[in-house]
Amino acid sequence: MGISLIIFDLDGTLVDSSGDLTAALNHAAAPLGHAPLTSEQVKRLVGEGVSRLVEKILPDSERGFNAETLERFRAHYQSHLTDQTRPYSGVVDTLPLLAGYKKALVSNKEETLSRNVLAEFGLLDHFDIVMGSDSAPEKKPSPVPLLLAAERLGIKPCDSVIVGDSEFDIMAGHAAGILTIGAAWGFRTSDELLAAGADYIARSFHDLPRIIREIEASATE
C-alpha cells in the first residue's frame, strides 16, 4: 500500500485554537452566569463541532437557551477567529515536505471558517480540498466526509491516512478503512489516542514524514 492522500484535522492538529474557542465560549455563556472556562477545560470539549461544543457547557435545565447562546458564540468567534490561534510547531515548515501527497483538510468547523484560518497563516494552498461540518451530510466521527474527500480526489481510502488529535478523527478513520495517526501534540494525550485505536502516534508535526515513510515501507515488506 502506498500513501497518496493525507487527511488532516484542523483544531488541535494544524492549529492551537483553544484560546479563541475559550474566549468565545466564555462570552457566550457569561449571560447565563457560568463561571469562566479555562483553555485546558475547553480542549477536552472540542471535536464534535460548534453546536455540540456549546451544548456541552449547558446543563439540561438550560438547553432552551442553546440557540441564543450558540449565536453569541458564533458572532464572537467569527470576529476573533485568529486573535490567539497559531499553527503548531513544525506545521509551516513540514507541510512543504509533504508536497508529493494529495492533502485534504476535514474539520468539524464550518468550511468557511476553516478556510479563513488556513488562509490567515498561509496554509490554504497546501490543500487540494477543504471540507468542514457543512460540506458533507455527516460530520466526524462519521466516515462520510473522509470518504467524500478521497472520492473527490480520485483516491482509494486504503491509500489514505488521517492525522488527527481526537478520538473522533480516529473513529472516522477506522470506519472509513483509513489508517490513523494520532496527533499527540494536540488536545488529547498519546494514551487517549492509543485507547481510541490510533494506528500510529506522532509526538510532533515534524514526525509525520518519517511515519508516512514507515507506513509505505511496511506495505512493501
Catalytic residue numbers, as ranges: 9
Report the alpha-carbon distance of residue 181 to residue 100 in Å, rounded: 18
CB 139, CB 48: distance < 8 Å: yes
What does each C-alpha distance from 202 to 26, 94, 127, 136 come to in angstroms? 31, 13, 20, 28
Report the alpha-carbon distance of residue 163 to residue 210 in Å, rounded: 13
What does each C-alpha distance from 143 to 85, 124, 148, 150, 156 come to in angstroms? 27, 23, 9, 11, 13
Q: Which helix (H) or strand (E) holds 16?
A: strand 15-16
Report the alpha-carbon distance of residue 162 to residue 70 in Å, rounded: 29
Q: Count the neighbouring beta carbons within 10 Å of the beta carbon of residue 110.
A: 17
